[in-house]
């Protein structure tokens, strides 16, 4: 009898040990068409790199604080909600990154909600679509509708951890306010420099080869101007798309101009270093088109006339020297090709 009681006690102790909560989260998964050999899991005060195998699989255990973590694959990122005790399995095909991300396992419903939230925001806050709005009243009406729809979505599932929903609700108004401010600036710019108005000009801007170019030299063709700088990350993202665009429209009725606003302030107070950095990047990236250097950087007359206070900025001018768009679509945007097709370039 005593032996039986002892055995029961031992088994009970073992069972309790097995049921004790884990002090770590398990994160596994598979990446199709992987971009790199690792994943970076991070918050503001946490960072860990997980190796990705040749077949795209990965597995690790993470001692974490309950939080929303960013998962970065070297090119794109998504969010995962981690808590000690969770067992999360993630699958992604990087060719359809946001649309393909799926989570399964213990606690996965919270991460799936985050993925759905990201897609919902991307769908409703389509920057290209919002940028076609031409007056503030229409913009405000549109953003108010988006606010209602997103708020309803954030609060639609009461099983989702309140850390996620509280953060979403808290960030909603500031997010929409930034959209209103940015697109509002574009609306104001289009009112000041409307389609068909004479474009501001530039004269004798320095070329990469040492010659000079004026806007008047390009009369008779459409002119697509990329205002950029060597230190600008988003500008560099657009370079491959711009090169492809130039290749596709070679010999057609359009000139492509890249105007650098590198200046002394960004290059150790030296204009010579600014020019050296500009020329070095043109050579390194094998940039094509007309490469010119704005003589006073941000303070160049053409830059100030187009009220450029952030880059990249793209400008489209017609063959007669009139404005088509003072804030044209980016090279990476399908909207630009649609516009050029509409103009029969």
Instruction: Assess whether pLDDT exceeds 90 at residue 18.
Output: no
Q: What is the mean pLDDT of the chain?
A: 93
**Token pair of 311, please?**
């880059």
pLDDT at 127: 86
Percent of the chain with pLDDT over 90: 90
Rounded to whole angstroms, the Cα distance separating 218 from 205 reads 13
Average pLDDT over residues 82-107: 96
**In the block, residue with structure tokens 């003589």:** 295
Rounded to whole angstroms, the Cα distance separating 330 from 237 reads 11
pLDDT at 301: 96
Task: Read off the pLDDT of residues 29-72 as tens digits, 9 standing for 90 and up.
Answer: 999 999 999 999 999 999 999 999 999 999 999 999 999 999 99
pLDDT at 21: 75
Task: Read off the pLDDT of residues 246-293 as tens digits, 9 standing for 90 and up.
Answer: 999 999 999 999 999 999 999 999 999 999 999 999 999 999 999 999
pLDDT at 262: 97
* β-sheet bridge partners, residue 27: 60, 88
- Distances in Å between the Cα of 59 and the Cα atoms of 27, 33, 86 are 6, 17, 13
pLDDT at 132: 85
- Pick the range with the lowest mean pLDDT from 90-94, 129-133, 263-267: 129-133
Using pLDDT thresholds of 50, 70 and 90, give the confidence band for residue 128: confident
Checking 205-212 for CB contacts under 8 A at 24+ apart, the result is: 205/259, 205/292, 205/293, 205/294, 205/295, 206/275, 206/292, 206/293, 206/295, 207/290, 207/291, 207/292, 207/293, 208/278, 208/279, 208/282, 208/291, 208/292
Average pLDDT over residues 13-39: 83
pLDDT at 230: 97
Edge-to-edge strand list for the sheet holding 102-104: 57-62, 25-32, 87-93, 102-104
Instruction: Assess whether pLDDT exceeds 60 at residue 172.
Output: yes
Would you say the pTM of this structure is higher than 0.95? Answer: no
pLDDT at 8: 59
Average pLDDT over residues 123-140: 91
pLDDT at 7: 59
Average pLDDT over residues 206-222: 96
Average pLDDT over residues 145-161: 97
pLDDT at 22: 86
């Amino acid at each position: 009898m005593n032996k039986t009681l002892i055995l029961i006690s031992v088994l009970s102790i073992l069972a309790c040990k097995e049921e004790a909560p884990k002090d770590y989260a398990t994160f596994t998964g598979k990446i199709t068409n992987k971009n790199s050999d690792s994943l970076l899991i991070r918050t503001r005060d946490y960072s860990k790199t997980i190796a990705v195998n040749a077949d795209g699989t990965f597995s690790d255990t993470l001692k974490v604080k309950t939080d929303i973590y960013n998962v970065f694959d070297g090119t794109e990122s998504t969010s995962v909600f981690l808590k000690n005790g969770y067992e999360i399995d993630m699958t992604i095909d990087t060719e359809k990154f946001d649309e393909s991300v799926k989570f399964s396992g213990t606690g996965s419903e919270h991460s799936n909600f985050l993925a759905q939230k990201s897609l919902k925001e991307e769908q409703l806050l389509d920057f290209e679509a919002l940028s076609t709005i031409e007056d503030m009243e229409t913009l405000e009406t549109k953003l108010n509708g988006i606010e209602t729809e997103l708020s309803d979505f954030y609060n639609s599932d009461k099983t989702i951890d309140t850390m996620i929903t509280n953060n979403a609700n808290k960030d909603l108004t500031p997010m929409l306010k930034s959209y209103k401010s940015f697109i509002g600036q574009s609306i104001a710019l289009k009112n000041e420099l409307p389609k068909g108005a004479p474009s501001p000009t530039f004269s004798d801007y320095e070329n990469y080869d040492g010659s000079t170019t004026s806007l008047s030299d390009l009369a008779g063709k459409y002119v697509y101007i990329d205002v950029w700088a060597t230190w600008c990350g988003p500008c560099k993202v657009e370079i491959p798309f711009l090169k492809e665009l130039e290749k596709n429209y070679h010999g057609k009725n359009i000139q492509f101009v890249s105007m650098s606003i590198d200046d002394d302030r960004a290059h150790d107070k030296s204009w010579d270093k600014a020019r050296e950095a500009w020329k070095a990047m043109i050579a390194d990236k094998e940039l094509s088109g007309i490469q010119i250097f704005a003589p006073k950087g941000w303070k160049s007359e053409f830059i100030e006339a187009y009220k450029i206070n952030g880059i990249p900025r793209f400008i489209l001018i017609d063959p007669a020297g009139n404005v088509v768009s003072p804030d044209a679509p980016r090279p990476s945007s399908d909207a630009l090709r649609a516009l050029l097709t509409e103009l029969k370039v």
